Amino acid sequence: MPALVLLSRRSPRRESRNFQAVPRWIFLLAAVGALFIVLPLLGMVAKVDWAHFIPLVTSEASVAALLLSLKTALASTTLCIIFGVPLALLLARTRFTGQGIVRALVLLPLVVPPVVGGLALLYTFGREGLIGSSLQLLGIDIAFSTTAVVMAQAFVALPFLVLSLEGSLRTAGQHYEAVAATLGARPSTVLRRITLPLVLPGLISGSVLAFARSLGEFGATLTFAGSLQGVTRTLPLEIYLQRESDPDAAVALSFLLIAVALVVVVLAYRSPRAPRQATP
């Protein structure tokens, strides 16, 4: 605890030295990188029809798409937590044959186009898919439903949570877990009372990334779930449809989507449990 107190009470002089240790050319490249992200956003904001912004984003179709996006993103993030935490624990805390292959498969959605993921889901859970055909006999139809939206979002968002949490687990080490085990704590108790609280910032960070990725998912959703208003048409799909018929509405909805995602990320990282930089 004293070490943590010392770290949290770093003197301004020491922070200044750390700041000055960064080469000056780094600031130039960082500024260019920031502008590369910010300028397109500013360009879009400049195109927003502010005089009609409220009517554009409060239409029945827009509100339905936004609510569906928030609901499905929350559900898919929950799935990512349920299945991503065990995956991250296995990858970070165990050693087994084929571990590299498992990690590659888990991270595969990061590198393949979302539409490919949508096709994979469709050919697996669709009406004539590998599993979907059997489910169809039981009266269960997943494709082109709200459930399909959640599955598509979880498919592309799961690697973000696994990567973030696995990195936190490796950084935290296993010292406290080993001590608890020597004192007789059961593995489930160690996981619940030591491991998860220790890596909670990484779990929060990964969950936020998964939620944001789910909120903006387009390709896999369109391929696997289609675009049915009130059922599968999320906000990104509504923006795509409005792009040709009503560009002003598309721009306004794009700004709304960015604003919602930005608020979620800012609130999460302002949390007292959010990841913070620690320097020795």
61, 238 in Cβ contact below 8 A? Answer: yes
Percentage of the chain modeled with pLDDT above 90: 55
User: How confident is the model at residue 174, as a pLDDT?
Assistant: 83
Q: Determine the pLDDT at residue 104.
A: 92
Q: What is the mean pLDDT of the chain?
A: 86
DSSP string spanning 156-185?
A: HHHHHHHHHHHHHHHHH-SHHHHHHHHTT-
User: Which tokens go with 207?
Assistant: 């969950």
Whether 31 is in a domain gets the answer no
**Domain with 60 in it: what CATH number?**
1.10.3720.10
152 vs 121: CA distance, rounded Å: 7
Vertex 270: Cα angle to 268 and 274 (nearest 5): 65
Model pLDDT for residues 42-70, shown as the tens digit of each residue: 999 999 999 889 998 999 999 999 999 99
Q: Is the pLDDT of residue 132 over 80?
A: yes
CA quadruple 91, 96, 98, 100: dihedral positive or negative? Answer: positive
Domain assignment present for 3: no
| pLDDT tens profile 245-280 | 889 999 999 999 999 888 887 876 665 444 444 444
The C-alpha atoms of residue 73 and residue 51 are separated, in whole angstroms, by: 30
Residue 13 lies in a domain: no
Burial class (CB in 10 A: 0-12, 13-18, 19+), 226: middle
Cβ contacts of 15 within 8 Å, gap of 6 or more: none
**pLDDT score recorded for residue 81:** 96
Residue that wins the pLDDT comparison between 17 and 138: 138
Assigned domain for 1 exists: no
Query: Is there a domain that residue 41 lies in?
Result: no
Q: Does residue 174 form part of some domain?
A: yes
Please state the domain count of the chain.
1
32 located within any domain: no
Do residues 253 and 56 lie in contact, with contact meaning Cβ atoms separated by under 8 Å?
yes
90 falls within a domain: yes
d(CA 218, CA 179): 46
| pTM of the predicted structure, to 2 decimals | 0.84
Residue 65: give the domain boundaries: 54-269
The tens digit of pLDDT for each residue in 139-155 reads 899 999 999 999 999 99
Higher-confidence position of 267 and 73 = 73
Cβ atoms 57, 256 nearer than 8 A: yes
